[in-house]
Chain A
Amino acid sequence: MATTSKQYKAIGEDLWKGRTEKINAELFALTYGALVVQLIQDYEDYGEVNKQLEKMGYNIGTRLIEDFLARSGTGRCADFRDVGEVVAKVGFKSFLNITPNVTHSAPPSAPLPGSRPASTPAPPLSAVGSSFMLTLDENPLAEFVELPEDALEGGLWFSNVLCGVLRGSLEMIQMQVQAEFISDVLRGDETTEIRVKLVKYLEEEVPVGDD
């Protein structure tokens, strides 16, 4: 009954094809680029710009998750590993038409003593601290971009809005995560990678079943 990787890919593909309102990629890239440049002019501090991009992404993510769940109809993820698969193969595919590669890693230390109430229908199998890494081969946000030297020195993560989206959307489904860029081809690195680490599961607010 567990959905396989191929099935996720197929779901993502269908969602992308079925979407009637798509936007021109160049317009999208140019709009985002103009946004980042304007933020840089306004804040003049690259760390602050990174934070603002992440905040904007967070706001987008909190709303985006509703759209995603409504259209995709994927069920509850069995564990955090599954979350990573769905995010990469269904989420990114249906919104940006890219499929980043996912690599999973276990939490660094022993899992915390389980004291979560077993009221959730599918108790999370992965422990706090596990993470997955998304490797993007292409980034539609950064199509024509070349960073100037001071942006490189200042530590700008151009597509930081994606980290915010991941954090916002996963928070709405009761997972508090930390998403950050590890490397970026715009900065001269080999690959563009985002690491998403699970911080904790949030208290279930929605009543489960019929008590």
Chain B
Amino acid sequence: MSHHLFLLSPSDSPLYSLTHYSTKPTPSTGSALSSNLPTWSTSAFAGTLTALSGASSATQSHHVQGGGVRMGGGQDRHVIQMIANASLDVIEEVMRKDNAMYLKSVDKFNEWTISAFITPGNMKFILLHEAKNDDGIRAFFNDVWELYVKTMLNPFHTAHTSIRSPVFDTRVRASAKKHL
């Protein structure tokens, strides 16, 4: 089960993105369509179709060759980003009504749920995930928020530029492993 995290500045420019493959067992949800697709398919269209129909790379890996998954991976990325961008409108709508920081799941696309977290400084943290995991995600968002604040306090970091610090990266991955 994979998760995709995006950190966006108030002007919606991406500052950081992370893909995390969870090792936790996931309830398999509605992957009927994906199993109908040939597993050897390497064409670009098939890759996109696989992604759109909800075959997740991790859970299907035991009967999909590594090469096939990797071919589809490039297409997956575009789909993921499209989904994330599409959710921004919904997030802004919800943002105006709801004052809480953690907006639970704001959008749903096939099997991808999008959860959002808005910081007081109007940074948006967007997480694409498949399974329901409210508490874990809330804890994860809080962790990411703390790490983000610490990075902002680094005098060498310019506000609203992409976050390239390896320390931040390591810590976010560790937190993802812990909570997701």
* Cα-based distance from A204 to B63 in the complex (angstroms): 86
CB distance from A7 to the nearest CB of B (A): 38
Q: Give the chain B neighbours of A148 by CB distance below 8 A.
A: 156
Structural contact, A147 and B156, CB atoms closer than 8 A: yes
Residue B167 at the A interface, CB < 8 A? yes
Which residues of A (24-38) have their CB < 8 Å from a CB of B?
A: 26, 29-30, 33-34, 36-37
Number of A positions contacting B (CB below 8 A)? 14
Contacts of A144 in B (CB 8 A): 150, 153-155
Is chain A's interface secondary structure helix, strand, loop, or mixed overall? Answer: helix
A155 to B36, CA, bound (A): 59
Give the docked Cα–Cα distance between A146 and B165 (Å): 8
B156 adjacent to A34 (CB under 8 Å): no
Q: Chain B's nearest CB lies how many Å from the CB of A32?
A: 8
Contacts of B153 in A (CB 8 A): 26, 29-30, 143-144
Q: How does the 8 Å CB contact mask read for A141-181 relative to B, with 1 for contact and 0 for none?
A: 00111111001000000000000000000000000000000
A51 to B167, CA, bound (A): 29
B111: shortest Cβ distance to chain A, in Å?
Answer: 38
Residues on B with beta carbons closer than 8 Å to the beta carbon of A143: 153
User: Nearest chain A CB to B145's CB is how many angstroms away?
Assistant: 15
Binary interface encoding of chain B residues 131-170 relative to chain A, with 1 for a CB under 8 A from any of its CBs, else 0? 0000000000000000000100111110000000101000
Distance between Cα atoms of A148 and B155 in the complex (Å): 10
Of B150, B156, B157, B165, most buried by chain A (CB within 10 Å of CB) is B156
User: Closest residue of chain A to B166, judged by CB?
Assistant: A146
* Of listed A29, A145, A151, residue having the most chain B CB within 10 A: A145
Question: Closest approach, in angstroms, between the C-beta of A146 and any C-beta of chain B?
Answer: 5
CB-nearest residue of chain B relative to A32?
A: B155
**Minimum C-beta distance from B26 to chain A (A):** 35
Docked complex: A110-155 residues within 8 A CB-CB of B: 143-148, 151
A130–B89 CA distance with the chains assembled, in angstroms: 68
Q: Residue of B at shortest CB range from A143?
A: B153
Chain B residues within 8 Å of A34, by CB: 155
Which of A29, A33, A147 gathers most chain B CB within 10 Å? A33
Min CB distance, B150 to chain A, in Å?
6
Q: Which of B150, B153, B155, B165 has the most CB of A within 10 A?
A: B155
Interface residues of B (CB under 8 A from A): 150, 153-157, 165, 167
New contact pairs (20) apart from A30-B153, A144-B150, A148-B156, CB-CB < 8 Å: A29-B153, A30-B155, A33-B155, A33-B156, A34-B155, A36-B155, A37-B155, A37-B156, A143-B153, A144-B153, A144-B155, A145-B154, A145-B155, A145-B156, A146-B156, A146-B157, A146-B165, A146-B167, A147-B156, A151-B156
15 residue pairs A–B, Cβ–Cβ below 8 Å = A29-B153, A33-B154, A33-B155, A33-B156, A34-B155, A36-B155, A37-B155, A37-B156, A144-B150, A144-B154, A145-B155, A145-B156, A146-B157, A146-B167, A147-B156
